[in-house]
Amino acid sequence: MDLKGVPCPMNFVKVKLKLETMDSGEKLEIVLDDGEPVKNVSVSLKDEGHRMLKVERSGECWKVLVEKK
C-alpha cells in the first residue's frame, strides 16, 4: 500500500480501513513518508494492538510491515 504524499491522519485511516478487510494474522506492507507519517502511523498501529514486523528506511521513505491483530 503506497501512502507517499498522503498526510496524517488520512494515511492511518486508509491503513485502518484496509486492515478491516483483512483476516487476523494477515500481513500488509505500507510505504510511508519520513517525518510525522512514519512516526504517527507506527504508533497508532501499535496502540491498536497490531504486530509490527518491520519498520525500515527505504530511500526517502519508510517501509512498514504489519500483521493484523
How far is CA 10 from each of CA 24, 31, 53, 56, 59, rounded to the nearest angstrom? 23, 14, 22, 21, 22
Peptide bond into 7 cis (omega under 30): no
Of positions 4, 18, 27, 46, contacts other proteins by CB under 8 A = 46
Distance of closest approach, residue 39 Cβ to other proteins, in angstroms: 6
Q: Is 36 in the site for other proteins (CB under 8 A)?
A: no
Q: Is 54 in the site for other proteins (CB under 8 A)?
A: yes
Q: Residues in the site for other proteins, rule: CB under 8 A? A: 38-39, 42-43, 45-46, 52-57, 64
